[in-house]
Structure 1
Amino acid sequence: MTSAATLSPAGRRARPDRRSPGWVLAVILAGQFMAILDVSIVNVAAPTIRTDLGTSGSGLQLIISGYTIAYAMLLITGARLGGLSGPRRLFLLGLALFTAASLACGLAGSEGLLIAFRLVQGAGAALMVPQVLSIIQLQFEGVSRAKALGAYSAVLAGAIVVGQVLGGVLVSADLFGTGWRPVFLVNVPIGLALLVVGSRLLPADHVRREQGVDLPGLVILSVAVSLLVVPLVLGHEQGWPAWGWWSMAASVVLIGAFVLVERRARHPLIPGRLLRAPGLVPAALAIFGAMTTWGGFLFTLGLYLQGGLGDGPLRAGLTFVPGAAGFAIASLNWRRLPARLHRKMILAGYVLAALGYLGISIALGSGGRGEPMLEILLLLTGLGLGAAYSPLFTVALAGVAPEDAPDASGLMSMTLQLGQVVGVATFGSLFLSLLPSSDAIGVTDLGLAALALAAGACTLPLLRKGGRG
């Protein structure tokens, strides 16, 4: 495993700052938590926002999805800026922008302003989030790094569910007649506290000043990602118009152009040596598959519970708790198993998740609630994904050189985000296209099970790398 030290401007190797590793992890994961929370918490508030501001259907979609669009499009940019200026500085800058935009969202008086501030909020998250993995990679080593990545994985799973539950609580409470506004304003005191604590506790940056940025590659990749994400996010709402298909086709062309530009770049955004890091590419593919299933599952089951069964936002959110709990339990405890089982556990986790999705397909296939089996199957699915996800991150980052940590963070963060967007778009469209058939959710979950097995197959090369976790 590579050292977590980084290089100072003079080329000296700097040791990780270990003054308060627990607090460092708490600060950066709290920032990560807020960034993910803001995806699901706003979904719950959408009907109230529409009534209060009189938004159009497309306007409401942009309020919900504008955050995701800006977030996904700028993740690689945020990662590279972190490499140039230092992850501490960019984390705090992104957190400040995210917090200020949250305040502006909560005070917005019109549809246009709320859309604009959501885009700014997504940009702040894109600056902040890639630095989380960078700081973990640079400041933690060995078992400590694996535990930190386990906590990181638990936050990813938990924030989505907490967002749904907290959104339901805040909107239902209608604090002081503010309706939907607290779903944004709740970020403000937390963000301010993190800025104060983070400015004191986050380790100093050690930046490689000789690094540059491939500006043409950065522009091409950002445009390519936006051309992919925008139609995936807005496509179903607008009936999959022709512009969306042309946009996605153009994205493929631009990605090819990006590869050509990167080959000639002096400072490529994704260095070739990063892609050659042992286990990184198969792990990234498997993680993409896992997040595609998780994002698609949360979205479609939420639609089923609220639209098909008539659950309120709070009850629907609470339904997901066993899945998030299983994910967190496996993420935080997988290191307790013998090291020889860690890589084998990855494939076993995907198989367990696939069986969970398959069981949910059967339990809900008749159009009922499927209780109490649904809760048990959610727990098993969460355990499977958590058992696969956290060890995968450890494998993916183990061979990454410290100086490549920002680029690895950007790549993995974009993989996570795109996986969720693709999952919502593809499986959401599948589910909605099958309605009003009673087996819509059953067929959708059957597709999720198949994808989980395919993602697990991507991990087979990792089983030949030995038994170290």
Structure 2
Amino acid sequence: MLAVLLAALFMALLDVFIVNVAAPTIGTELHASGADLQLVIAGYTITYSVLLITGARLGDRLGHARVHLAGLALFTAASLACGLAQGSTELIVFRLIQGSGSALMIPQVLSLIQRHFVGEARMRALGVYSAVIAVGAAAGQILGGVLVSADLFGTSWRPVFLVNVPVGVVLLFLGRRVLPRDAGAEPERARAFDVPGLVLLASAVSLLTVPLVLGQEEGWPLWSRLSLIASAVLFAAFCVYESRLARRGGAPLIAPRVLRHPGMGLAVFRILAVMAINAGFLFALTLHVQGGLGFSALRAGLTFAPTAVVFGAVGLTWRRWPAAWQRALTPLGFVITVPAVLGVGLAFEGGDRGGAVLYVAYVGVGAGLALAFSPTLTRALATVRPEDAADASGLLSTVAQLGQLIGVAVFGTLFLNRLESLGAPGAYTSAKALLACVFALAGTAAVGAVSGLVLRRR
């Protein structure tokens, strides 16, 4: 059961990033405008982020296995449609649908783990879950580069979508046999579906997500800034409404006791920071090696292999380390990340292509982010009550996704603005822009390292 769930999770996470390295080829072959290409990449992320909480609550109401399989079927069908699309408009629509399938599918993975694993088995399952959820980012870049460069049967960019189809069909076949047949919530709880809260939260996330994924390319126009302000207002309105609903004895979209769970606030902040660093690092490095150094899609994708491999290895093994180390692992991870990301920037300084030091730095980034992320997520979820699994799943999945969007928006903007201010494009100016970006990434990691001390004292 765990293998089937995590394979579906990994496939869905790949699609957040796998299209990045295929984007230039898609634009050329479909004669897509810059705006079209941007929506091809961002459309999946937008619907995925907006509907995650909705997907979690639907699973709680209708049955987690049932909703997971429905989302997997929708994702697989949309992947086939994307791979066969003949124009950019078709591709954009199918990417939106693909993201909707992921939003239904992914929250159920964590909910099913929470409900069907106990004790040590749950801790191990959560450890593997956290490793998969973060390795997917780097693995998407790698697989995208491999598939585009291979040009299988002359299909160019299409395999980045079509690869999901046979995998999805196999997982649907297996899932119907190994996933538990849950019936969903009891009728009393099913009737208490928080529609106003759902509308408020979906609107707030939409108003945050859309400018984050589209604002940079558009030069941060007035609508994007107004959208971010409106998002903050709606988030505040959502919090007020949910608090009042809970006091009246209603069933809020996210149970207040989940937010008050010991360590949950700190976990949310750390997961947000880790995913922002991870996404910002991958985004800036991709722009540098492809745009500044002229790497091919394949070589650019393989650039991330050391980080992905180490991240996965550390994420899967950290619980076997001495018990005396466990509490210090998360801040240690942030501490390791600081010199590691700086090492990557310094290795490329002056337009160089790096050397042995670069690969040591890649390993440090993978190890540091894994230690900062995996223990945080595992501990935050290990003691959540099974009946709160859907709430915790939706909350932390949404936080992780928003962290990635914020990382790309903030650190990507810093990189691109620095590159523009330096003048003529090239390896040297791109390296300077990357260096400015990694200093900001290192500063964020340093904040993550001390966050536990500050929040615990408060």
TM range (shorter): over 0.9
Question: For 1:367 and 1:434, how far apart are their aligned partners in 2?
Answer: 15
1:259 partnered with 2:243: no
Structure 1, gaps ≥5 residues long: 1-23, 465-469
Question: For 1:161 and 1:391, how far apart are their aligned partners in 2?
Answer: 19
Aligned partner of 2:363 in structure 1 is 379
Tell which deviates more after alignment, 335-344 or 111-120.
335-344
Tell which deviates more after alignment, 143-152 or 413-422.
143-152
Shift in Å, 1:204: 2.4
**Equivalent of residue 277 in structure 2, options 288, 293, 297:** 293
Question: For 1:139 and 1:50, how far apart are their aligned partners in 2?
Answer: 44
Tell which deviates more after alignment, 66-75 or 319-328.
319-328
Question: For 2:335 and 2:144, how far apart are their aligned partners in 1?
Answer: 32
Q: TM-score, normalised by structure 2?
A: 0.93
Shift in Å, 1:157: 3.1
Shift in Å, 1:312: 0.7
Question: For 2:119 and 2:339, how far apart are their aligned partners in 1?
Answer: 32
Matches within 5 A, 1:107-146: 107-146=84-123
1:279-323 per-residue CA deviation (whole Å, 9 max, x = no partner) reads 111011101100000000001001100001010111111111111
**Equivalent of residue 369 in structure 1, options 348, 353, 358:** 353
Question: For 1:399 and 1:459, how far apart are their aligned partners in 2?
Answer: 19
Question: For 1:414 and 1:297, how far apart are their aligned partners in 2?
Answer: 20
Matches within 5 A, 1:213-362: 213-265=193-245, 266-362=250-346
Would the aligned equivalents of 2:146 and 2:301 in 1 still touch at CA under 8 Å? no
Shift in Å, 1:378: 0.9
Counterpart amino acid of residue 283 in structure 1 = A
Counterpart amino acid of residue 260 in structure 1 = V
Shift in Å, 1:355: 2.0
Shift in Å, 1:130: 0.7
Shift in Å, 1:154: 2.2
Structure 2, gaps ≥5 residues long: 423-428
1:263-285 per-residue CA deviation (whole Å, 9 max, x = no partner) reads 23211111111111111110111
1:165-193 per-residue CA deviation (whole Å, 9 max, x = no partner) reads 22222222222222211111110010000
Match of 2:397, SS state, is helix
Match of 2:354, SS state, is coil
Aligned partner of 2:165 in structure 1 is 188
Aligned partner of 1:447 in structure 2 is 440
Aligned partner of 1:460 in structure 2 is 453
**Equivalent of residue 432 in structure 1, options 416, 440, 447:** 416
**Equivalent of residue 54 in structure 1, options 31, 36, 54:** 31
1:127-148 per-residue CA deviation (whole Å, 9 max, x = no partner) reads 0011111111112222222221
Question: For 1:383 and 1:70, how far apart are their aligned partners in 2?
Answer: 31
Aligned partner of 2:77 in structure 1 is 100
Match of 2:99, SS state, is helix
Match of 1:196, SS state, is helix
Provide the identity percentage. Answer: 55
Counterpart amino acid of residue 80 in structure 1 = R
Would the aligned equivalents of 1:217 and 1:262 in 2 still touch at CA under 8 Å? yes
Matches within 5 A, 1:75-90: 75-90=52-67
Would the aligned equivalents of 1:343 and 1:463 in 2 still touch at CA under 8 Å? no
1:220-240 per-residue CA deviation (whole Å, 9 max, x = no partner) reads 110110111101101111111
Counterpart amino acid of residue 284 in structure 2 = T
Aligned residue pairs total 441
Aligned partner of 2:426 in structure 1 is none
Would the aligned equivalents of 1:270 and 1:407 in 2 still touch at CA under 8 Å? yes
Would the aligned equivalents of 2:46 and 2:210 in 1 still touch at CA under 8 Å? yes
Question: For 2:326 and 2:29, how far apart are their aligned partners in 1?
Answer: 51
Question: For 1:256 and 1:161, how far apart are their aligned partners in 2?
Answer: 34
Would the aligned equivalents of 1:299 and 1:424 in 2 still touch at CA under 8 Å? yes
Would the aligned equivalents of 1:357 and 1:448 in 2 still touch at CA under 8 Å? yes
Aligned partner of 2:380 in structure 1 is 396
**Equivalent of residue 166 in structure 1, options 143, 167, 180:** 143
Would the aligned equivalents of 1:53 and 1:109 in 2 still touch at CA under 8 Å? yes
Match of 1:179, SS state, is coil
Aligned partner of 1:419 in structure 2 is 403
Shift in Å, 1:463: 7.7
Counterpart amino acid of residue 439 in structure 1 = K
Question: For 1:384 and 1:192, how far apart are their aligned partners in 2?
Answer: 36
Shift in Å, 1:162: 2.5
Shift in Å, 1:33: 0.6
Question: For 1:85 and 1:184, how far apart are their aligned partners in 2?
Answer: 29
Would the aligned equivalents of 2:148 and 2:298 in 1 still touch at CA under 8 Å? no
Counterpart amino acid of residue 252 in structure 1 = A
Q: TM-score, normalised by structure 1?
A: 0.91
Counterpart amino acid of residue 289 in structure 2 = L
Shift in Å, 1:461: 6.7
Would the aligned equivalents of 2:123 and 2:382 in 1 still touch at CA under 8 Å? no
